[in-house]
């Protein structure tokens, strides 16, 4: 099975030693390597009844590849540890490997190595490596008052899709299938990361915990306040307001703004740029950086309970 | 808790961006990076009743750091994904972090990042990175007929310790405590890896599945036969025959040779060198490479069932 998995992971030029030795050797021409890791556990991060093996593999890869992009780096390689029950079908595991390989290729990286073991649940631990191409890493610590806050990629889709799935609504024929698809398989704007670095981004983050939470990490890291304007945030191209409203209506007329402000898993990139930076069309300005702390939306704080807090601005 | 864990992971010079951003940035001065990963799952790879948190962390780190050394590289950084039940005591998790930090420091590496999530069992996924310092990677594919086979580090100890623990024998006062210790916490000869590379090693492997199995990987990768002499293998410094015999006697007089030939988890390094290479004292010659395939011990094959196979040499 390991050989069959290996066949699904063609090596690229970055791979000096690939699968099958004690360790892989990956080119790091820059003299630095960017590295990130996380774990996906069945029942906590995905459900086999809601997502195909291909999508689970793709998602596991995408989460880590997006973190590499968020440093301003280009992904070069993935390492994958996989554990699962002995009763798992070989075809399922191979499809998982294909999902990982696809997403990896989409980001320009190759699968360099990994490990398999048995466990009662399916578990995936993915490590992604990346190359900065001579650029400085873009961290969470460099945002400055006066910078603009901009976003590449979509918000609120994965959260809306998860809400639909949780309610048993698979949305066929509604035109909302893309929301469910966004939950099953994120589509991070990988090359926007190195692009932002080249444009002089002062800070950047992958939106995986929700916009407010993740901008909060940048605000804390940079010791600034992030001020977002909802009118910039809740229009295309960041969201398609009409379809989020329709999904919310299907769910009994709930408020769709929390999906946009607090929904994770879309893996958009948020970055700050010096004022006046000429931004390509894929980057949408959604606000600005000011002195202070925390994150404001239209001058108000969004609290952890998912509502507005009028008393703590 | 993440902040408290972070305090246990002091950064070293190799770390350009450490814990707390989307990804770490690690120096890779060589222009290549060596990378390996694996997963440890409670009940399969360790038991909380048999090993302390410190030892589990140390072992998880050691397994991966040894794989870096086995490529001829010096470990630079670790990334650690951790999952565990919410009922786990914070002190236990911090001790685990200390074990990881200790082993990492012993190998010259720093903890660069990671991820935590919740799960019913304790799970650790560790990725290690390393630097080749300008040397060629030492793979499993370069052994040549005529080379000598040499070993750095010990064999059979961890397997003997596991056998004692499995029988409920903790061995206090017998002088065999070091066997149990070897199971709980391997002590890989990290710097022997880069040393072997500098000495011109033609192949190298970390002994984690057992000597015969791992030499078999080199034999297959290099398309050669590995011939081991038991008299070289079952004497000091590779093993302490007296204490292995005493442990075997405690267990009812079983044969201790399988611990040496098939026991994993000691993380010794086996390497092949061109004939006539002047080897430092830590490297013990245990055999030679010849034309053919597989692994022979005193001219015989050791089979998967743990016995000699007289018919397949």
The per-residue DSSP string of chain B comes to -HHHHHHTS---TTEEE-TTSSSEEEE-TTSEEEEEEEEEEBTTTB-TTTS-HHHHHHHHHHHHHHHHHTTT-EEEEEEEEEEE-TTS-HHHHHHHHHHHHHHHHHTT-EEEEEEEEE-SS-EEEEEEEEE-TTPPP--SS---TTPEEEEES--SHHHHHHHHHHTT---TTTT-HHHHHHHHS----TTHHHHHHHTT-SEEEE-SS-HHHHHHHHHHHHT-EEEE-HHHHSSTTT--HHHHHHHHHHTTS--SHHHHHH--SS--EEEEE-TT----TT-EEEEEEESSSSEEETTBEEPTTSSEESS--
Using the beta-carbon criterion (under 8 Å), do A28 and B30 form an inter-chain contact? yes
A156 and A300 in a single domain? The answer is yes
Are B112 and B19 in contact by the 8 Å Cβ rule? The answer is yes
A267 and A195 in a single domain? The answer is yes
pLDDT computed for residue A47 by the predictor: 87
Lowest mean pLDDT: which of A250-254, B288-292, B304-308? B304-308
Say how many domains are in chain A. 2
Q: What number of other Cβ atoms are within 10 A of residue B68's Cβ?
A: 31
Are A222 and A140 in contact by the 8 Å Cβ rule? The answer is yes
pLDDT computed for residue A312 by the predictor: 46
Question: What does the pLDDT look like over A39-68, one tens digit per residue?
Answer: 999 998 888 888 899 999 999 999 999 999
| A286 found inside a domain | yes
- The 3-class SS string of A97-160 reads HHHHHHHHHHCCCEEEEEEEEECCCCEEEEEEEEECCCCCCCCCCCCCCCCEEEEECCCCHHHH
Chain A partners within 8 Å of B26 (Cβ)? 32-35
Chain B partners within 8 Å of A27 (Cβ)? 31-32
Alpha-carbon span B255 to B250, nearest angstrom: 11
Using the beta-carbon criterion (under 8 Å), do A22 and B70 form an inter-chain contact? yes
The whole-number average pLDDT for the span B78-105 is: 94
Q: pLDDT tier at B302 (50, 70, 90 boundaries)? A: confident
Tell me the CATH number at A270: 3.90.650.10
A157 and A290 in a single domain? The answer is yes
| B280 found inside a domain | yes
Alpha-carbon span B263 to B29, nearest angstrom: 36
The whole-number average pLDDT for the span A99-109 is: 94
Among B33, B67, B70, beta carbon nearest to A26: B33
A110 and A166 in a single domain? The answer is no
A88 and A25 in a single domain? The answer is yes
The complex's ipTM works out to 0.92
Using the beta-carbon criterion (under 8 Å), do A39 and B68 form an inter-chain contact? no
Chain B partners within 8 Å of A36 (Cβ)? 22-24, 79, 113
Among A20, A22, A45, beta carbon nearest to B206: A22
Among A20, A32, A39, beta carbon nearest to B81: A39
pLDDT computed for residue B12 by the predictor: 74
pLDDT computed for residue B253 by the predictor: 94
Alpha-carbon span A297 to A295, nearest angstrom: 7
| A143 found inside a domain | no
Nearest residue in B to A134, CA atom: B31
B108 and B168 in a single domain? The answer is no
Predicted confidence (pLDDT) at residue B305 exceeds the cutoff of 90 = no
Predicted confidence (pLDDT) at residue A313 exceeds the cutoff of 70 = no
Predicted confidence (pLDDT) at residue B313 exceeds the cutoff of 50 = no
Between residues A10 and A142, the one the model is more confident about: A142
What six digits make up the tokens of B275?
């004939």
Query: Nearest-CA distance from B269 to chain A in Å?
Result: 11
Buried (b) or exposed (e) across B7-18, using 16+ Cβ within 10 A?
ebbebbebbbbb
Query: A-B interface: how many C-beta pairs under 8 angstroms?
Result: 190
Lowest mean pLDDT: which of A296-310, B62-76, B177-191? A296-310
| A72 found inside a domain | yes
Query: Nearest-CA distance from B235 to chain A in Å?
Result: 27
* Boundary of a domain, candidates B131, B158, B192: B131
Alpha-carbon span B14 to B104, nearest angstrom: 13
pTM equals 0.93
Q: What is the DSSP string of B70-85?
A: TTT-EEEEEEEEEEE-
Identify from A11, A20, A21 which residue to disrupt to test chain B contact, counting B C-beta atoms within 10 A and taking the largest count.
A21
Nearest residue in B to A67, CA atom: B22
| A165 found inside a domain | yes
B302 and B233 in a single domain? The answer is yes
Token pair 């999902």: residue: A99
Using the beta-carbon criterion (under 8 Å), do B39 and A115 form an inter-chain contact? yes
Select from A122, A36, A60 the least CA-distant residue to A85: A122
Predicted confidence (pLDDT) at residue A3 exceeds the cutoff of 80 = no
Chain A partners within 8 Å of B65 (Cβ)? none
pLDDT computed for residue A12 by the predictor: 74
Question: What does the pLDDT look like over B203-243, one tens digit per residue?
Answer: 999 999 999 999 999 999 999 999 999 999 999 989 999 99
The whole-number average pLDDT for the span A76-98 is: 94
- Percentage of chain B lying above the pLDDT 70 cut: 96
A114 and A227 in a single domain? The answer is no
Q: Which letter does DSSP use for residue A88 in this model?
A: S
Question: What does the pLDDT look like over B249-288, one tens digit per residue?
Answer: 999 999 999 999 999 889 999 999 999 999 999 999 999 9
Token pair 């977002």: residue: A228
Using the beta-carbon criterion (under 8 Å), do A28 and B25 form an inter-chain contact? no
| A142 found inside a domain | no
| A46 found inside a domain | yes
- Percentage of chain A lying above the pLDDT 70 cut: 96
Using the beta-carbon criterion (under 8 Å), do B44 and A117 form an inter-chain contact? yes
Alpha-carbon span B266 to B5, nearest angstrom: 28
What six digits make up the tokens of A136?
């400085």
pLDDT computed for residue B310 by the predictor: 56
Between residues A45 and A203, the one the model is more confident about: A203
Chain B partners within 8 Å of A75 (Cβ)? none
The whole-number average pLDDT for the span A163-167 is: 93
* Boundary of a domain, candidates A106, A131, A156: A131
Q: Which stretches of chain A are assigned E, i.e. beta strand?
A: 15-17, 24-27, 32-41, 74-84, 110-118, 123-131, 148-152, 203-206, 225-228, 269-273, 284-290, 295-297, 301-302, 308-309
Predicted confidence (pLDDT) at residue B14 exceeds the cutoff of 90 = no
Lowest mean pLDDT: which of A116-120, A278-282, B125-129? A116-120
Q: pLDDT tier at B1 (50, 70, 90 boundaries)? A: low
B81 and B156 in a single domain? The answer is no
Q: pLDDT tier at B7 (50, 70, 90 boundaries)? A: confident
Select from A119, A80, A190 the least CA-distant residue to B81: A80
Alpha-carbon span A251 to A249, nearest angstrom: 5
Using the beta-carbon criterion (under 8 Å), do A22 and B128 form an inter-chain contact? no
Query: Going by DSSP bridges, is the β-strand pair A74-84/B32-41 parallel, antiparallel, or unpaired?
Result: unpaired
B199 and B115 in a single domain? The answer is no
* Boundary of a domain, candidates A131, A156, A182: A131
Average per-residue pLDDT in chain B?
A: 92
Domain that holds residue A95: 2-131
Tell me the CATH number at B88: 3.30.1330.10
| B275 found inside a domain | yes
Select from B259, B209, B265 the least CA-distant residue to B58: B265
* Distance, C-alpha A258 to centroid of its chain: 18
Query: Going by DSSP bridges, is the β-strand pair A148-152/A123-131 parallel, antiparallel, or unpaired?
Result: unpaired
B61 and B168 in a single domain? The answer is no
Chain A partners within 8 Å of B218 (Cβ)? none
Predicted confidence (pLDDT) at residue B11 exceeds the cutoff of 50 = yes
Predicted confidence (pLDDT) at residue B304 exceeds the cutoff of 70 = no
Alpha-carbon span B175 to A184, nearest angstrom: 56
A181 and A282 in a single domain? The answer is yes
Q: pLDDT tier at A97 (50, 70, 90 boundaries)? A: very high
């Amino acid at each position: 099975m390991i050989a069959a998995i290996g066949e699904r992971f063609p090596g690229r030029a970055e791979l000096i030693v690939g699968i099958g030795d004690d360790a892989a050797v990956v080119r790091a021409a820059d003299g630095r390597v960017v590295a990130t890791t996380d774990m996906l556990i069945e029942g906590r991060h995905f459900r086999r009844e809601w997502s195909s093996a291909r999508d689970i593999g793709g998602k596991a890869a995408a989460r880590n590849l997006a973190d590499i992009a968020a440093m301003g780096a280009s992904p070069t390689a993935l390492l994958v540890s996989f554990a699962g029950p002995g009763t798992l079908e070989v075809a399922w595991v191979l499809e998982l490997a294909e999902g990982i390989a696809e997403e990896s290729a989409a980001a320009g990286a190759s699968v360099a190595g990994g490990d398999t073991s048995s466990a009662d649940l399916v578990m995936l631990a993915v490590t992604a490596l990346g190359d900065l191409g001579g650029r400085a890493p873009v961290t969470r610590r460099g945002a400055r008052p006066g910078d603009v806050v901009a976003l590449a990629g979509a918000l609120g889709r994965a959260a809306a899709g998860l809400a639909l799935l949780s309610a048993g609504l698979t949305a066929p024929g509604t035109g909302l299938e893309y929301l469910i698809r966004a939950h099953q398989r994120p589509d991070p704007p990988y090359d926007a990361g190195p692009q932002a670095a080249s444009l002089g981004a002062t800070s950047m983050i992958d939106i995986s915990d929700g916009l407010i939470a993740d901008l909060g990490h940048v605000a804390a890291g940079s010791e600034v306040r992030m001020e977002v304007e909802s009118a910039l945030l809740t229009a295309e191209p960041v969201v398609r307001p009409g379809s989020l409203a329709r999904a919310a209506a299907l769910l009994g007329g709930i408020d769709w703004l929390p999906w946009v402000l607090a929904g994770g898993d879309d893996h958009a990139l948020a970055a700050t740029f010096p004022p006046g930076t000429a931004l390509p069309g894929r980057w949408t300005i959604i606000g600005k950086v000011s002195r202070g702390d925390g994150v404001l939306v239209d001058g108000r704080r969004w609290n952890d309970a998912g509502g507005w807090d009028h008393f703590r601005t």
